[in-house]
Structure 1
Amino acid sequence: MDSKKTGVLAILVASLMWAIEPVLAKLAYSNADFLQTSGIRAIVVTLVALLYVLLTRQGGLKVTKRQFSTLVFMAVAGTLFADLIYFLALTMIPVINAVLIGHMQPIFIVLIGFFILKEDKLTRFDYLGIFIMIIAAILVTTKTQANLSALKLGTLADILVLLATLAWATMAIVMRKYLRQLDAGVITFYRFSIASVVLVTYLLVTSSLVLSNIYQILIGIVVGTGTILYYESLKRIKAAQTSALELSTPFFAVLFALFVLGEMVTIMQIAGIVLLVVGVCLLSKKEEAYF
């Protein structure tokens, strides 16, 4: 299988993993909190990444000082901040809300590139894509015409997911710019091992480092697999193609949430998912410029 096909397959499987993750988190919350679940998850992801590195990489876990400082940033921004508030939000909102808002990364990638990195100009397609994706988010978070009419545009949990998405977008840019040559397993290992030290320390101090259910382990396996495959895909196919293929996640998430959790999806939310696809397609060419 050539590199491009491998990249496409990798991101499709990663998308499936990320659709499963929030469903498993909801199941884990039956007798565990989000901090405990996040801690166990980080430990398991670290072990999955270590196993991957041992099986596939001859150079082991060696990194340069510059790479390590970048990995520390990814651990803090991506795992200790973004992942934690995402898991907190999942205790309050449906899976579809979390997944769709979480897939608005292209907006932030384009805006960060324009306002902070000062790269290129925004075109009418960029503005249109951003506008459509904002409408998509509003449709998903309001759910019904009654809520939309009353301007009930979302909740605090929706805002938390949006903040997590901003952090993930920042992390994606940093990873592509400074760690592109580093093995996916090594990136995943350091991102989660550094974070797990902090999380485990907290859980030990609070006497809450306990494995409460099998779902906490499954989340770690799913996230570890998905993260490694995502990083592998970024090395093989363009960022725009990765974003487009990753849009299969909301569709998978809707099915899992419906059949496993019994969460219902409204017509407005389905329309929001469709608009998300359109918005990302409009932004995809611009996203390539930053990678």
Structure 2
Amino acid sequence: MWAIEPIFVKLSLETSDFIQTNTIRAIFALLIAFIYILIKRKPKEMKISKKEVAPMIYIALVATLFADFMYVFSLSHVSVVNAVIIGHMQPVFIVIFGIFILKSDKLTYFDYIGILIMILSGILVTTGTLENLMNFKFGTIGDLFVLSAAIAWATTAIVTRKYVKHLNTGVLAFYRFSIAAVVLSIFLIVNNRFFIANYYQVAVGIIIGLGTILYYESLTRIKAAQTSALELSTPVFAAVLAYFMLSEVPTIMQFVGVGLLILGLYFISRREE
């Protein structure tokens, strides 16, 4: 699902803008989360305590209103491969932030190797060619937007783990998308742009809603290391889909970067085995 999302976002941006696409995306992701809560028959769990309000507001503002917004916007400037690779550098920041905030984890030998490999992966993907690498041309402003999103997502992952990991998956997803959906909807209504421009926007919202819920549910059933390992195929699928659906052809260095990202994620996931 994470591989399909950027493809559909790019297709949506052909007939719409990033604000409208992100708004419809948030609304349908919110709808999926609410439906999931009803299916699980746990609407009573939507009530959260006072101490959980601040963390949930932070997650909603930073993860959805800021990070998701920056990610969707960046896809109008960078290729799918760049967006997926840089976005998947999130574990690097989760590990680093976890050391200072959670104060329970320590960097292992595998962490150091994984972080270094993933940084190298990011360099190869953003430079794209050997000539750019030799001339120290490290990406574009769009790459920085994706990087800012990855860092923001990492901080919310830490907050989730520390303060609200006990909440029902559907409830967590519901509140994550709710604030963004309301704020962005008001903006579009005021500007007379509150409508669905294309079905890709709806598809992206459904994909993200389901993907978020399935990801959190997987963490309750299998080890985080196994979940990370299952995500390793995302960059590969994204590159293949981008080639066939968007005619985006990755460079040789970007293919190498994909391989290094997978290797780096593997080493970081080993810390929990």
Same fold by TM-score greater than 0.5: yes
Q: Could you say which residue in structure 1 is the equivalent of 2:11?
A: 27
Aligned runs of 1:132-147 on 2, under 5 Å? 132-147=117-132
Among 65, 88, 109, the alignment partner of 2:73 is 88
1:46-104 per-residue CA deviation (whole Å, 9 max, x = no partner) reads 11111111111334322222223222111001001100011110000000100011111
Moved over 6 A (4+): none
Name the TM-score, length of structure 1 as normaliser. 0.89
How far did 1:120 drift? 4.3
How far did 1:125 drift? 3.2
Q: Could you say which residue in structure 2 is the equivalent of 1:115?
A: 100
Please tell me whether residue 49 in structure 1 is matched to residue 8 in structure 2.
Answer: no
**AA of the residue aligned to 1:97:** N
Question: 2:42, 2:92 → 1: CA distance?
Answer: 38
1:18-69 per-residue CA deviation (whole Å, 9 max, x = no partner) reads 1111100000011110001011111111111111111113343222222232
Please tell me whether residue 223 in structure 1 is matched to residue 208 in structure 2.
Answer: yes
Question: 1:153, 1:239 → 2: CA distance?
Answer: 32
Among 256, 259, 264, the alignment partner of 2:241 is 256
- Cα 1:107–1:208 change in 2 (3 A) is same
Q: Could you say which residue in structure 2 is the equivalent of 1:36?
A: 20
Among 61, 64, 88, the alignment partner of 2:49 is 64
Q: Could you say which residue in structure 2 is the equivalent of 1:8?
A: none
Q: Which runs of 5+ in 2 are unaligned?
A: none
Question: 2:147, 2:217 → 1: CA distance?
Answer: 25
**AA of the residue aligned to 2:52:** Q
Contact 1:106 1:284 in 2 (8 A): no
Question: 1:285, 1:155 → 2: CA distance?
Answer: 32
* Identical counterparts, % of pairs: 54
How far did 1:175 drift? 1.5
How far did 1:117 drift? 3.6
Q: Could you say which residue in structure 2 is the equivalent of 1:191?
A: 176
How far did 1:119 drift? 3.6
**AA of the residue aligned to 2:21:** T
Q: Could you say which residue in structure 2 is the equivalent of 1:10?
A: none
**AA of the residue aligned to 2:210:** T
Q: Could you say which residue in structure 2 is the equivalent of 1:165?
A: 150
**AA of the residue aligned to 2:25:** R
* Count of residues in Structure 1 that have an aligned counterpart in Structure 2: 272
How far did 1:205 drift? 1.7
Question: 2:153, 2:66 → 1: CA distance?
Answer: 10
**AA of the residue aligned to 1:233:** S
Contact 1:103 1:247 in 2 (8 A): no
- Cα 1:123–1:231 change in 2 (3 A) is closer
How far did 1:234 drift? 1.6
1:236-290 per-residue CA deviation (whole Å, 9 max, x = no partner) reads 222222222112111110111011001001111111111112212222244x49x
CA RMSD of aligned residues (A): 1.6
How far did 1:145 drift? 1.0
Name the TM-score, length of structure 2 as normaliser. 0.94
How far did 1:110 drift? 1.3
How far did 1:172 drift? 1.3
